[in-house]
Amino acid sequence: MVNPEIPFLRKTVQSQIVAVTVYSDKALVTRRGIVSLTGQEQELVITSLPMTLETDSVRVGGTGTVGVRLLGVSSDRTYTTEPVAERVAQLTRQIQQLEAEQRHLQAQIDALALQSSFIAGLREKTEEPFSHSLARKNLSLSETLDFLNFLGSQYSEYAIASGECKSQQEELEKQLQVLRASLQKIQTPHPKESLSLIVAVEVVGAGDFELELSYVVNRASWTPLYDLRFGNTSNIVNLSYLAEVTQSTGEDWIGVALTLSTAKPGLGTLPPKPEPWYINTISPTVQFARRRGTQKMPMMAAQSAPAGAMNEEEDEVAQDSLIEAETVVAEVSKEGSVVTFKLNGGGNIPSDGAPHKTTIFNDDYPSSCDYVAMPRLVSFAYLQAKVKNSLNGATFLPGKANIFRDNIFVGTTNLENIAPGQEFKINLGIDEGLKIERDLVERQVDKKLMSNQRRITYGYRLIITNLLDRETHLTLTEQLPVSRNEQIKVRLTRTNPQIQLGEMGILEWELTLSAQEKRQIYYQFNVEHTPELTVIGLDI
């Protein structure tokens, strides 16, 4: 335990955090504090440090107007009880106020009960006289009904009002239980644990000394996050490199110099990947009911939506008078494989465990776009962009990227580690600027057996229409079934335009379409097998 200060021998240094370097799983914190020395001090104490501090990582230094020798550093745990008087007083006032409201409601309930009792007594006392008056015809039937309605309505009104008051009482009681539990909890002392560091010193005279202290804390991290913005009329990609900083170290970082370091002390926008299309025969000992397959479109997390038309006249109004906001970015430096980002703005990251975003930098990158399509799986084309990191740029760490097209959010993707000068590909989701139609135009079963083989011929026609006002490149992929039985043969018989069959039944055309051009593709294949076999998996 840290002993109370001994005059002239021990002095507490009031320090504050001035800089933080955040790594992937921890952070390096730097503190500074100025203390006036008399020349007799033997220990300098820094208190209220978090329990997440790694004591082996502590380093001390400093400068001043007096000579100081730093002899060593030790640590000790400190237990303090936080003052709760103000909170106790606040809870007590709230409880007293609710109890007063409860008493007021109880008085209303008692008054309503008295009124209800009076109405009930009035009914009993007037029951016999009313009967005689009705028998003698001294009272009319309407007068009798009016009186009965008066008794009923008053009794009902008192009963309803009493029920509402009791409901309010029950709600107040729930609130009181919560407040009383909170009061009981804070009245039970819970010591707060913290660390203190004791720096042994030799001081040769009187003067001011600025102590600098650094240490590593756990429960701090940062991860990269990207915003990628594309315009349909431009080949420029705007990339914002963001950092998501999270910390629950036990101390807030307010107004500090924040540095991020790489040192180490979807389906959504992705086009579907074709899998081999296998066919086989059913087992001769087991009979399966033949089922016609139905194609299903894969679920997609995000699709591009056509941008809303913008009023050009409104867009041009007062453009000269608007000042675009400036984003503060970081200074990027590299040393070997380690990249650091020193933020120019003051860092404000409280110890709340919540993610806090800050911009590292943003820049424009040239890109080239093309399309890919797998009409057998999805009847849409997907837009892809090839982007090249600049040779003098920063390394992009693996992280999630939000993708925007013409300021419309289209989905997310994940970036891998991208080095300076490296080219990478971004999937931008569905683009309805290319229309694709796929039809089965031929299915013919040969009536004559050829070499004791049954042959079924299939022919497909695809029509691709470029609805865009610019030339586009499209990689179009189709696939043939792949046999897993040597008695089933699949043969490609015709393609137009002509291409070669790839591995696992893949057909791939590289097409360049002019603006508004329509192109037609045709391919044909046949499946041969012995007549006694029943082929499964041939869902066309």
Cα-flanking dihedrals φ and ψ of residue 112, to 5°?
-65, -35
Q: What number of other Cβ atoms are within 10 A of residue 325's Cβ?
A: 5
User: Which residues does 526 contact at the CB level (< 8 Å), separation at least 6?
Assistant: 455, 456, 457, 458, 490, 491, 493
> Cβ atoms within 10 A of the Cβ of 307, count?
12
Residues 518 and 488 in one domain: yes
Gap between the Cα atoms of 536 and 149, Å rounded: 81
Q: Whole-angstrom distance between the N-terminal and C-terminal Cα of the chain? A: 79
Instruction: Return the pLDDT at 245.
Output: 93
Question: Do the Cβ atoms of 24 and 221 come closer than 8 Å?
Answer: yes
Using DSSP's 3-state secondary structure scheme, residue 93 falls into helix
Look at residue 374 and give its three-state secondary structure: coil
Regarding whether 200 and 73 lie in a shared domain, the answer is yes
- Contact yes or no for 98/180 (Cβ under 8 A): no
CA distance 256 to 258: 6
Same domain, 26 and 77: yes
- CA 475-477-483 angle, 5° bins: 160
d(CA 377, CA 291): 19
Instruction: Please report the pLDDT score of residue 301 as a whole number.
Output: 32
- The pLDDT value recorded for residue 290 is 39
Task: Evaluate whether residue 60 is within a structural domain.
Answer: yes
- 64 and 198 co-located in one domain: yes
pLDDT at 46: 94
Q: What are phi and psi of 36, to 5 degrees?
A: -90, 125
- Tell me what pLDDT residue 323 has: 46
Whole-number pLDDT of residue 308: 38
Q: Tokens for 316, please give them.
A: 């041009």
Tell me the C-alpha distance between 174 and 361, whole Å: 52
User: Is the CB of residue 519 less than 8 Å from the CB of residue 464?
Assistant: yes
pLDDT on residue 140:
64
| Residues 6 or more apart whose Cβ sits within 8 Å of residue 281 | 485, 487, 488, 529, 533, 534, 535, 536
Q: What is the pLDDT of residue 479?
A: 92
Please check whether residue 107 is in contact with residue 146, taking contact to mean a CB–CB distance below 8 angstroms.
Answer: no
CATH number at residue 476: 2.60.40
| 94 plus 156 within the same structural domain | yes
Q: What is the 3-state secondary structure (H, E, C) of 406-424?
A: CCEEEEEEEECCECCCCEE
Local structure of residue 168 (DSSP, 8 states):
H
CA atoms within 13 A on the CB side of 123: 14
Query: Tokens for 479?
Result: 């696939």
Task: Give the closest residue to 119 by CA, choosing from 168, 90, 89, 162.
Answer: 162
Query: Which DSSP helix (H) or strand (E) runs through 217?
Result: strand 207-218
56 inside domain: yes
Residue 352 lies in a domain: no
- CB atoms < 10 A from the CB of 510, how many? 11
Report the phi/psi class of residue 69: left, alpha or beta, with left for phi > 0 and alpha for psi in -120 to 50: beta
Range of the domain at 43: 10-81+191-218
Are 502 and 451 in the same domain? Answer: yes
Contacts of 288 by beta carbon, 8 Å cutoff, 6+ apart: 282, 534, 536
Q: Which of these, 441, 426, 430, lies nearest to 378 by C-alpha position?
A: 430
Q: Which residue has the tokens 């939000």?
A: 402
Around Cβ 458, how many Cβ atoms within 10 Å? 20
Rounded to the nearest 10°, the torsion over CA 63, 64, 69, 75 is -70
Cβ atoms of residues 512 and 305 within 8 Å: no
Query: pTM above 0.85?
Result: no
The answer as to whether 365 is a domain residue is no
Angle, CA of 74, 80 and 84, to the nearest 5°: 160
Q: For residue 135, what pLDDT is reported?
A: 61
The answer to whether residue 247 is domain-embedded is no
* Phi/psi of residue 518, nearest 5 degrees: -115, 130
The helix/strand/coil state of 261 is strand
Residue 177: inside a domain: yes
Q: Tell me: do 450 and 463 sit in the same domain.
A: yes
**What is the domain count for the chain?**
3
pLDDT along the chain (540 residues), means of 10: 58 94 93 93 93 93 92 85 72 89 89 80 67 62 68 75 85 87 73 87 93 95 90 82 92 91 64 74 49 35 35 44 52 72 79 86 88 90 90 83 85 86 87 91 80 87 93 94 90 94 93 94 93 80
Assess whether 109 and 51 both reside in one domain.
Answer: no
Q: Clarify whether residues 210 and 177 are in a common domain.
A: no
Q: What's the CATH code of the domain at 148?
A: 1.10.287
In a domain, 182, yes or no: yes
Distance CA 264, CA 247 (A): 17
Query: Is there a domain that residue 25 lies in?
Result: yes
Q: Are residues 34 and 62 in the same domain?
A: yes
For 253, phi then psi, to 5°, come to -105, 100
Residues 76 and 201 in one domain: yes
pLDDT at 292: 37
pLDDT at 299: 33
Q: Which residue has the tokens 């208190």?
A: 47
* Maximal C-alpha separation, the chain: 120
- In the numeric block, the tokens 């002019």 are attached to 514
Residues 61 and 118 in one domain: no
Paired sense of beta strands 330-335 and 338-343, if any: antiparallel
Q: Which amino acid is at 39?
A: G
